[in-house]
Structure 1
Amino acid sequence: MRSTLVPLLLCSLLLCACGGGGGESTASTPQTPTTPTPDPQTPAPVTGDWYQPQVGDDWQIQLTGTVNTSYDVALYDIDLFDSSTALIQQLHQQGARVICYFSAGTFEDWREDASQFATDDYGYEVDGWPGEYWLDITSSTVQAVMQARLELAQTKGCDGVDPDNVDGYQHSTGFNLGYNDQLQYNRWLANSAHELGLSVGLKNDLNQVTDLVDYMDFAINEQCFNYGECDYLTPFVNANKPVFNIEYNSQYVSDASARSELCQQAASAGLSTLVLPKKLNGNFRYSCQD
């Protein structure tokens, strides 16, 4: 799911890759966050030894359908629940690392652990995604479920995680979430993943990059070139942490010269960019790293 830059974007927001189903949908009306105040309980980043993707790594993300395992890439990003341990082992045997995707900010009524949430843990439905609702990230129950998901990723053999929808404070969620609520939650996610030996990425949430770059190992972004937002990701590149970027604009599929120009810009910015279908179903793939 794409994040919203508030108040910098004048265009309508599109949501992408939400709920493991991939694709774009019309976002709920974003809330303008209040000016953040210093967090009096800032935890230090957890230190340790875990998988660290490299700047310039080629990669693939597929969240729906039968995963195409034929790509010679450094890492795959696949759905935590829909991917078997056997698939993860196969990718490892091919020499690829595995990042496991899950939604950390929304309730999805089709997930196997949906019954673990309390009914007051989720609020407004995510526009365009039936059965998906924003979560109250301040809830201890929500955090317990997310801890269990991180432990599932470790048990399955994932090398890292891609927690999505970590920008609820910018949307109409049904909860009074502020900048620091989101920041504390995202830092907790990162530290909890690291305590389990998992790498962790920041999905979109561009407004909090500078506050989170020290906690995250990489960033995954949707359409920063399309929206003119790539400069917000520079702190990751400067910290020698990769930015894995996805673009969905159809011109990059149909126009080879436009795609070549995109890839030149991506190389200049230090981003690992893919052109993919909005549903992230593996129907096609163009990589600027090829």
Structure 2
Amino acid sequence: MRLSVIVSAIALAATALISAPPAQAAELPAPVACAGCWKPALNTSWEWRLSSLPAKPYLDVQMYDIDGFAAQDGAIVKALKAAKPGRRVVCYISAGTYEDWRPDAGQFPDEVLGTPLEDWEGERWLDIRAYTGTLGKIMKARLDMCKAAGFDAVEPDNVDGYSNDSGFPLKAADQLAYNTWFANEAHKRGLSVALKNDVEQIPALLPYFDFALNEECWEHSECTTAQNGDYGYDQFVKAGKAVFQVEYNLATSKFCAKSNAQNFNSLKKTYELDGTRTACRGV
């Protein structure tokens, strides 16, 4: 073959590659509607208590977020609601990590257990791509537990494994597929669902989640679209969906005024998530 023909062929192939449309990511499922789900008001007072269950006298807040396994018998959920009519209770579970102290820890197949989380002994990232198998059954059972205990909503933690050293080649598309699946499963059970962190995927996940919960976005300068360019929790507020936000290291003088201006419900807490608490809105 003549050199000129070879060069022409290479040029044509290169042109075809440049002009070809980009590969499309797998299409996400349609959001499952949940007409009866609780939709927290933009301004909702709350407490996040995971180190232990709340004890009397309870705080005069409209929402408590507590550990689902510790409350699975439903007694504390019932007590919290009885103490303040209209109060809602959120069920904390990890949806993206294995925790060796949980009662269902023995159900996780070895092949879905990934890298240990730094500073969190006994916890390992999960291969979320396996949600169509045993992993999905485990998470469905956890959602059933939250529902049976009388919770109104669920807070699935660690749903950003793709942006961490999980031990698996997780992609952004894998995380979107898993998070949307989880949100839809919660809605099928009449539970509202919070988007926990995973800030960069807010634009795609916003239609699926009823409210958001964030840690340290002011410390890391990633709370708003103005800071990030394409994503931010102001997008939740604009959609009429509440944002619950926590800082651990910043002084309240460094973030409360900014949070209030964005209509976020922000708290100053300790990493232990115990009773230590300062609310930016005073409740």
Q: TM-score range, shorter-chain basis?
A: 0.7 to 0.9
TM-score if structure 1 supplies the norm length?
0.82
Amino acid at match of 2:263: G
Amino acid at match of 2:151: C
Provide the aligned C-alpha RMSD in A. 1.4
1:285 and 2:277 equivalent? yes
Aligned counterpart in structure 1 of residue 118 of structure 2, from 117, 127, 136: 127
Classify the secondary structure of the residue corresponding to 2:257.
Answer: helix
Tell me the distance in 2 between the aligned counterparts of 1:251 and 1:180: 36
- 2:243 — aligned with what? 243
Looking at CA atoms only, which structure, 1 or 2, has the larger radius of gyration? 2
Classify the secondary structure of the residue corresponding to 2:260.
Answer: helix
**Within 5 A, what are the aligned runs for 1:83-94?**
83=71, 84-93=73-82, 94=84
* Larger RCO, structures 1/2 (Cα 8 Å, 6+ apart): 1
TM-score if structure 2 supplies the norm length?
0.84
With 213-222 and 125-134 compared, the bigger mean Cα shift is at: 125-134
**Relative to structure 1, is the Cα distance of residues 288 and 43 closer, same or farther in structure 2, using a 3 angstrom cutoff?**
same
Aligned counterpart in structure 1 of residue 25 of structure 2, from 36, 39, 49: 39
Cα deviation for residue 81 of structure 1 reads: 0.3
**Relative to structure 1, is the Cα distance of residues 179 and 65 closer, same or farther in structure 2, using a 3 angstrom cutoff?**
same
Checking the alignment, whether the CA contact within 8 Å between 2:98 and 2:113 is kept in structure 1 is: yes
Amino acid at match of 1:286: T
Tell me the distance in 2 between the aligned counterparts of 1:57 and 1:169: 31
Checking the alignment, whether the CA contact within 8 Å between 1:60 and 1:76 is kept in structure 2 is: yes
Cα deviation digits, residues 31-60 of structure 1 (max 9, x gap): xxxxx9643331111112211111011110
> Structure 1, unaligned stretches of length 5 or more?
1-35, 253-257
Tell me the distance in 2 between the aligned counterparts of 1:138 and 1:132: 18
Amino acid at match of 1:120: E
Classify the secondary structure of the residue corresponding to 1:186.
Answer: helix
Tell me the distance in 2 between the aligned counterparts of 1:73 and 1:248: 20
Aligned counterpart in structure 2 of residue 220 of structure 1, from 207, 213, 218: 213
- 1:205 — aligned with what? 198
Residues matched between the structures, number = 247
Amino acid at match of 2:119: G
**Relative to structure 1, is the Cα distance of residues 267 and 105 closer, same or farther in structure 2, using a 3 angstrom cutoff?**
same
Cα deviation digits, residues 164-201 of structure 1 (max 9, x gap): 00000011111111111100000000000000000000
Cα deviation for residue 121 of structure 1 reads: 1.2
Aligned counterpart in structure 1 of residue 70 of structure 2, from 82, 87, 109: 82
Checking the alignment, whether the CA contact within 8 Å between 1:37 and 1:180 is kept in structure 2 is: no
- 2:39 — aligned with what? 52
